Amino acid sequence: MDPSLKEIIDQYDPTAPLAEAWTIPAPWYVDPRVFELERQTVFARSWQLVGRIEQVRQAGQYITWNLAGEPLVIVRGSDKVLRGFFNVCRHHAAAVITQPEGEAAHLRCPY
């Protein structure tokens, strides 16, 4: 029987002295339940780096990124404001932008 998520997390003792410390348990790297917990408690609640300002200096420049399973597009608007969106069209769930970075006058669904 697989250990529960709590049992996996409880295998690690953050108070152990450094001389006795081990790396985090192996399931923390591969168990999808741990990943989902991290998505909810770490990635969804804090700022994450997805690119560098040099990549989106000019109006129309964009970068795409997949952050914890969420496809994103970051674009510099014609008003020079930096904006982030989910990189998915609403009616077909297709990627709006397919290149990692570039420049576009408009973000358009491919359909």
Q: Are 78 and 59 in contact (CB under 8 A)?
A: yes
pLDDT reported for residue 2: 82
Q: Are 42 and 24 in contact (CB under 8 A)?
A: no
pLDDT digits (tens, 9 = 90+) for 3-30: 999 999 998 888 889 888 788 889 999 9
| Sheet of strand 70-76, all strands in order from the earlier edge strand to the far edge | 82-86, 70-76, 61-67, 101-103
3-state helix/strand/coil string of 42-80: CHHHCCCCCCCHHHHCCCCEEEEEEECCEEEEEEECCCC
Look at domain 53-103 and name its CATH class: mainly beta
Cβ neighbours for 103, distance < 8 A, ≥ 6 positions apart: 58, 60, 61, 62
Model pLDDT, residue 24: 86
Top-confidence residue, 80 or 12: 80
Tell me where in the chain the CATH 2.102.10.10 domain(s) lie: 53-103
